[in-house]
A and B are shown apart, each in its own frame.
Chain A
C-alpha cells in the first residue's frame, strides 16, 4: 500500500457510522459515500449527512477512477423516491444531495426516477434544498428536461478530469457532451445553480485545469469543486501526483478570480462534500 501524505487524514467514529447505516438499511437506500468508498464518510455520517445514490448500485459505465460496482444492473425500485424522502426527514437534512449510477440501459437514463425522487423529497420536506448530481443522460435533451422540470435547486454534473485524459479516465463519456449538459441546464433554467467537479492528481497540468475552468465558465457554470484523486484499489488508475494543499489553495484563488460563484478546493473535497456550503454562500451573497 502506498504511503499517504500527512494531509490525507480523516476521522472515523463507528457509532455514528452505524447509526446512519441503520437508517439506510431500514429504507433500503444506497449512498455513493459507501459505494465509492469516500474518505469523508466518517465525518459526514457523524454530522448525519450523506449523498444518496439512486437507481441501484451497479453502473453501466467503467470509469477508471470509480469504485462503484459494474456488472448486472438492478431493477429500479419504485419505492426508492419515497424511502429517500423519509430518510432525509429522519436525518433532519436541510440540504439533500442525490446522485445515481449511470443507467445507459434505461430509455430515459433514469431521468424520471430522479424527478420522482425530487418530488417525493419536496412533499415530505417542504423547506429542504435539493441538489442532484446527474450522469450525462447521453446528452439527450428530453431526458435532461425531465430532471430540470422537477426544479432541483442545484444541478451538478462532473467533468471529472481534463480533456486530454478522457480516454483513460472516462472512456465512455465525452468532454464536450458534459459541457453541453451544463450549458443546456443553464440555458433552460437559469435560476438553477449549475455545478461541476474534477479530480486532480491524474496527470493533468495546471494549464489544462485552467482551460477546463474557462470552458465551464463559458457555459455559465456557477460552482466548481476540485479534489485529490485517490485510488480505490490496484484495479483502478494509479495516482500520478499528490497535489499539495498549497496548490489546491491556488486553484481556488484562480477559480474565484476567473468568476465562479463558489469554489471548493482541497485534497479531500468531493463534489458533494459539504454541498450546502456553496448554496449558503450563494444565498448570503444574494
Chain B
C-alpha cells in the first residue's frame, strides 16, 4: 500500500521548506523513526523521521528544491 511522505509544517508560519538532503534512496528499506530527508527552515535544519515501516518507492524532488508545506515529496511502499 502506498503512503505519501509530505513536507511537514515545522512551524506555524512555515509555507515552504527547502529539501537539503535525502538520507534514503529509492529501494531502501525504511523503519519507523528512520530519518528520510532533511529540510532547511528559517531557523535550523530538521531531520524528518518516517512514521511508517516500508520501502522508499519514489522520491519526487531533489536536494535544493523548495517545496510547499503538505506537498508530497516521496512515496513509501508499506505492507497492508
Q: List the interface of chain A (C-beta within 8 A of B).
A: 1, 3-4, 8-15, 34-35, 37, 39, 41-42, 67, 230-233, 268
Residues from chain B with a CB closer than 8 A to the CB of A268 are 44
- A12's partner among B13, B40, B43, B49 (CB-CB below 8 A) is B49
Q: Assuming A1-B40, A1-B42, A4-B40, is B12 touching A37 (CB within 8 A)?
A: yes
Mask, B1-24, CB within 8 Å of A = 1, is: 000000010111100001000000
Residues from chain A with a CB closer than 8 A to the CB of B12 are 34-35, 37
B29 within 8 A of A: no
Residues from chain B with a CB closer than 8 A to the CB of A233 are 13, 42
**Is there an interface contact between B13 and A13, defined as CB atoms closer than 8 Å?**
no
Q: List the interface of chain B (C-beta within 8 A of A).
A: 8, 10-13, 18, 33, 35, 38, 40-49, 51
**Is there an interface contact between B48 and A1, defined as CB atoms closer than 8 Å?**
no
Most buried by B among A10, A35, A41, A268: A10
CA separation between A58 and B17, bound complex, in Å? 26
Q: Assuming A9-B45, A13-B33, is B13 touching A37 (CB within 8 A)?
A: yes
Q: Assuming A1-B40, A230-B44, is B10 touching A12 (CB within 8 A)?
A: yes
Residues from chain A with a CB closer than 8 A to the CB of B8 are 12, 14
Residues from chain B with a CB closer than 8 A to the CB of A67 are 13
**Is there an interface contact between B18 and A1, defined as CB atoms closer than 8 Å?**
yes
- A13's partner among B11, B18, B49 (CB-CB below 8 A) is B49
**Is there an interface contact between A231 and B42, defined as CB atoms closer than 8 Å?**
yes
CA separation between A9 and B38, bound complex, in Å? 9
CA separation between A4 and B46, bound complex, in Å? 11
- A42's partner among B18, B38, B46 (CB-CB below 8 A) is B46
**Is there an interface contact between B43 and A39, defined as CB atoms closer than 8 Å?**
yes
CA separation between A1 and B46, bound complex, in Å? 14
Q: Min CB distance, A50 to chain B, in Å?
A: 14
